[in-house]
């Protein structure tokens, strides 16, 4: 079995103060990917024996950024895309192994009034192009905060959120386009009708206590791994961020 965790920590230094290392050790996954680390090189000293650490920092201080902690050393590490589309916000990190690529992503938010939607659409097209170029070589596992609730079942209040960032028609269409290009949303693959399971809750209006959330954190796999999906778990009981960790278990 291979176990992987993804967690938008909304500031890794803050999350460490809320028990991040204990969660990492408790879950004991082969991969532990984090998004929105909000730090630069040298700003944190993590005591996590047994893991190789790979970072992709944003140029802007205290913003965005991703990291992957892996028990096995990869063949190669790539920060950003392998073609001319700049990722100076530290949003995309790829580890290459013999049989697969392991990728974490922090998809750009479209922002209020969808003011960053054009950039988001460019990102989506380049991200899909990148994943499909890798898929032609070997299996792909991708995780992270994709900043979209795919369907009405994936958020508590769909009707009042139509057109809002994360639930616009444009963002949802791009997500479906990605799936149709040869990827599987592992949670929905196993639990197509499961309701009330979310991965992000606003800090406002007691959203988490009322479970008024969104499922915007994912594990996707390339179609060739379909028969190896053992479980896809959303750890709604783990706190420390406005997101909770999500997990993928694959048969090797």
Distance CA 238, CA 79 (A): 29
Task: State the residue for tokens 């070997």.
Answer: 138
Active site residues: 106, 145
What's the CA angle centered on 11, arms 7 and 12, to 5 degrees?
70
**What is the C-alpha to C-alpha distance for residues 229 and 241, in angstroms, rounded to an integer?**
27
Q: How far apart are CA 44 and CA 65, in angstroms?
A: 13
Q: What is the DSSP string of 203-241?
A: SSTTTTTTT-EE--EEEEEEGGGGGGEEEEEE-TT--SS
Closest C-alpha to 244, from 234, 229, 231 = 234
CB 198 within 8 A of CB 213: yes
Structure tokens at 75: 């063949």
Q: How far apart are CA 8 and CA 241, in angstroms?
A: 7
> What's the token pair of residue 39?
């730090």
The C-alpha atoms of residue 183 and residue 174 are separated, in whole angstroms, by 13
């Amino acid at each position: 079995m291979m176990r992987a965790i993804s967690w938008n920590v909304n500031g890794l230094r803050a999350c460490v103060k809320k028990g991040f290392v204990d969660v990492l050790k408790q879950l004991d996954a082969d991969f532990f990917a984090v998004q929105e680390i909000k730090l630069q090189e040298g700003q944190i000293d993590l005591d996590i024996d047994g893991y190789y650490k790979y970072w992709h920092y944003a140029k802007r201080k205290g913003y965005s950024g991703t990291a992957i902690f892996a028990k096995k050393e990869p063949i190669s590490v790539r920060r950003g895309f392998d073609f001319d589309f700049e990722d100076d916000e530290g949003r995309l990190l790829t580890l290459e192994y013999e049989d697969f690529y392991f990728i974490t992503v922090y998809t750009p938010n479209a922002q209020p009034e969808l003011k960053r939607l054009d950039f988001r659409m460019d990102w989506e097209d380049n991200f899909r192009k990148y994943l499909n170029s890798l898929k032609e070589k070997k299996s792909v596992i991708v995780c992270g905060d994709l900043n979209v609730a795919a369907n009405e079942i994936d958020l508590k209040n769909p009707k009042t959120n139509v057109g809002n960032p994360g639930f616009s028609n444009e963002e949802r269409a791009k997500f479906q386009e990605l799936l149709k290009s040869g990827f599987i949303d592992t949670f929905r693959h196993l639990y197509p009708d499961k309701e009330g399971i979310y991965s992000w809750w606003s800090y406002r209006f007691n959203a988490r206590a009322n479970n008024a959330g969104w499922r915007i954190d994912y594990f996707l796999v390339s179609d060739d791994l379909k028969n190896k999906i053992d479980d896809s778990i959303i750890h709604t009981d783990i706190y420390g961020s406005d997101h909770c960790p999500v997990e993928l278990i694959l048969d090797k």
